[in-house]
Amino acid sequence: MSLSETKATEGRKPLIAMRGITKRFGDFLANDGIDLDIHAGEAHALLGENGAGKSTLVKILYGLLESSAGSIALDGQAVSFASPEAARAAGIGMVFQHFSLFDNLTVAENIALVLPDSEGMEGIAARIDTLTRRYGLQLDPKRDVWTLSAGERQRIEIARCLLQNPKLIILDEPTSVLTPQEAETLFATLEILRLEGRAILYISHKLEEVRRLCERATVLRAGKVVATCQPREESVRSLAALMVGTHLVDVRAKPNDMLGPDRLTLNHLSMPAQDMHGVALKDVTLSVRGGEVFGIAGIAGNGQDELFASLSGEQLARQGVAVQIDGISVGREGINLRRQYGAAFVPEERNGHAAAPDFSLSDNIILSRHALGDVTRGWTLDQANAKALMRDIVEKFDVRMSGADPAARTLSGGNLQKFLVGREVSRAPSVLVLNQPTWGVDAAASADIRQRLINLARQGAAVLVISQDLDELFEIADRIAVIHHGHVSAPLITRETTREEIGLLMGGADATQESLAHAH
């Protein structure tokens, strides 16, 4: 849609008109009188930090939540959706960030679950074939889902949505697990859908994508609409400033030419898959030097969780020498001893893995530091010191919370992540391993976390970051390797490679001799 087309929408009846949408959860006001118009044939971005109210708003639109006040009109007619089924029947579809697919079923069987029982599998397969040709979705109805890449799984979600003929498609962080090449395929599909007259509501923290795809944007902050704009007339920095209410501080990552010795080393690490859908690690060899940030890129489900578990000691290697910290073989040692040797770890899942949700923040410090001696006195816990450490982390890492020592689950995703990173960084570890450190975290919190990792590395630590976010890795990593089906490629010097080259490796291309020549 051109600028003239965008202006032409002014005065036209919107496809979706949300007026005064308000949602309370007890005393907390998640949505505060929000107005939102979405027109047919428009790609409209919904922007805001974590906790701004985006998820609540789209859940109301999709029938997952009931608003406390306000109204919704579809094609000028008042509507109220008691369930997602009712929303889909009215023409509203949604593709969620986290896929809801059954791994042991085929593509066609997963799609059949949301279609009327009267449709046979042959008819569904034929409709999938039609979608493939029309939208370039490239799906084989007979393939088992567990064999598919993240991009292929997302196509199933889109196909399920399209087979219900939606007027509006809501996409939540749709490129978070895609390679650059898969993202390009998605963008081409979205353009076809828009030209057909379907409306797209696009939620993403990737502001360059928003500028490329969307004609208009509505920006939420603290549950209220604070701005509407045309993203193509804004810069990434100005959009981010609208979201956070202030200008973002640039992440500064100058190349470090004064690297120290190898501090984290993997020597031919091989690990069997832990379950039928797990990924075996195959002869992984790499080293991370003091002073550098080393990035591991890859599409979700290619062995990242298994690699993290092997590094942290949650899964023990067959040989001690397979994992070394500062030259000490720890492959057969558990997480507590690895911590005692100077390593620290931040897993992907914040609540349930990195933190005990119902424990206070100070108790969560005890969980990760009890083997280090700074929160214990002999056989007793030092609660006072744990609380002092908690207060220090909260202050230095700008963790926003309610109460003096609240439960971990009460913090927003971004604030809990800052606390968890702070808990480990404040130890000044010699080795820090993080899995998806800014997953689902807003721009301001992400920038803060990334700068902390760079600063720690420049102080002499070896920092290994496992991330699906290529923008993140290109911003902070000195070298990048790719994990694919349990194999880790030779690392490339970040400033000497491209997103396209890394994206090809993520998709399974073999490292070329040119790529190998970049490795150190």
469-479 pLDDT, tens digit each? 888 999 999 99
Q: 366 pLDDT band (50/70/90 cuts)?
A: very high
List, by residue range, all CATH 3.40.50.300 domains of the chain.
3-244, 254-342+431-520
**According to the per-residue pLDDT averaged within each range, which of 324-333, 364-373, 509-518 is highest?**
324-333
The two tokens of residue 192 are 């076809």
C-beta atoms surrounding 249 within 10 Å: 10
Q: 11 pLDDT band (50/70/90 cuts)?
A: low
Position with higher pLDDT, 249 vs 16? 16
Q: 518 pLDDT band (50/70/90 cuts)?
A: very low
* pLDDT for position 21: 97
**Is the backbone of residue 499 left (phi > 0), alpha (psi -120 to 50) or beta?**
alpha
C-beta atoms surrounding 419 within 10 Å: 24
* pLDDT for position 254: 67
Q: What is the mean pLDDT of the segment spanning 126-136? A: 86
* pLDDT for position 10: 57
Q: What is the mean pLDDT of the segment spanning 406-422? A: 88
Task: Say if residues 318 and 284 touch (Cβ distance below 8 Å).
Answer: no
The H or E element containing residue 218 is: strand 216-221
As a whole number, the mean pLDDT across the chain is: 88
Q: Is 23 helix (H, G, I), strand (E, B) or coil?
A: strand
Q: 20 pLDDT band (50/70/90 cuts)?
A: very high
- Helices (H), ranges, 100-222: 107-112, 121-135, 150-162, 180-195, 207-213
Q: 519 pLDDT band (50/70/90 cuts)?
A: very low
pLDDT of 257 above 90: no
Which residues lie below 8 Å from residue 85, measured CB to CB, with a gap of 6+?
Answer: 63
Which residues lie below 8 Å from residue 138, measured CB to CB, with a gap of 6+?
Answer: 132, 152, 155, 185
Cross-strand pairs, 78: 73
Radius of gyration of the chain (CA): 24
**According to the per-residue pLDDT averaged within each range, which of 93-102, 266-275, 287-296, 437-446 is highest?**
287-296
Report d(CA 267, CA 293) in Å as an integer: 19
Of the listed ranges 14-23, 295-304, 485-494, the least confidently predicted one is: 295-304
Task: Say if residues 292 and 256 touch (Cβ distance below 8 Å).
Answer: yes
Position with higher pLDDT, 65 vs 252? 65
Q: 281 pLDDT band (50/70/90 cuts)?
A: very high
Report d(CA 405, CA 413) in Å as an integer: 17
Report d(CA 148, CA 441) in Å as an integer: 27
Which residues lie below 8 Å from residue 97, measured CB to CB, with a gap of 6+?
Answer: 172, 173, 174, 176, 440
In 3D, which of 435, 508, 486 has the Cα closest to residue 152?
A: 508
Q: What is the DSSP letter of 250?
A: P
Entry pTM: 0.73
The two tokens of residue 488 are 């880790």
pLDDT of 512 above 50: no
Report d(CA 413, CA 440) in Å as an integer: 7
Displacement of CA 248 from its chain's centroid (Å): 20
* pLDDT for position 517: 41
Exposed/middle/buried for residue 318 (C-beta within 10 Å: 0-12, 13-18, 19+)? exposed
Position with higher pLDDT, 66 vs 248? 66
Q: 347 pLDDT band (50/70/90 cuts)?
A: very high
Output b/e per residue, 281-317; b: 16+ Cβ within 10 A. beebebbbbbbbbbbbbbbbbbbbbbbbbbbbbebbb
pLDDT of 513 above 50: no
Position with higher pLDDT, 249 vs 241? 241
C-beta atoms surrounding 138 within 10 Å: 12
Task: Say if residues 63 and 82 touch (Cβ distance below 8 Å).
Answer: yes
Going along 375-496, which residue ranges are E strands? 376-377, 380-381, 431-435, 462-466, 479-484, 487-488, 492-493
The H or E element containing residue 224 is: strand 224-229
* pLDDT for position 9: 53
* pLDDT for position 190: 92
Q: How many helices (H) and strands (E) does the chain have?
A: 18, 23
Percent of the chain with pLDDT over 70: 93
Q: Which CATH superfamily is domain 254-342+431-520 in?
A: P-loop containing nucleotide triphosphate hydrolases (3.40.50.300)
Give the tens place of pLDDT for each residue, 388-413: 999 999 999 888 887 899 999 888 77
Domain spanning 3-244: CATH 3.40.50.300 = yes
Tell me the CA distances in angstroms from 505 to 176, 297, 474, 509, one per residue in order: 17, 9, 15, 5
Q: Is 349 helix (H, G, I), strand (E, B) or coil?
A: coil
Tell me the torsion sign for CA atoms 462, 468, 472, 473: positive
Q: What's the number of CA atoms in the CB half-sphere (13 Å) around residue 301? A: 18
Q: What is the mean pLDDT of the segment spanning 139-168? A: 87
**Is the backbone of residue 514 left (phi > 0), alpha (psi -120 to 50) or beta?**
alpha
Percent of the chain with pLDDT over 90: 55
Report d(CA 290, CA 460) in Å as an integer: 5
Tell me the CA distances in angstroms from 1 to 6, 16, 158, 174, 514, one per residue in order: 6, 18, 22, 20, 41
Report d(CA 442, CA 51) in Å as an integer: 9
C-beta atoms surrounding 180 within 10 Å: 17
Give the tens place of pLDDT for each residue, 161-198: 888 889 999 998 888 777 788 888 889 999 999 999 99
* pLDDT for position 1: 45
* pLDDT for position 117: 66
Which residues lie below 8 Å from residue 325, measured CB to CB, with a gap of 6+?
Answer: 263, 264, 338, 341, 342, 343, 430, 431
Position with higher pLDDT, 411 vs 58? 58
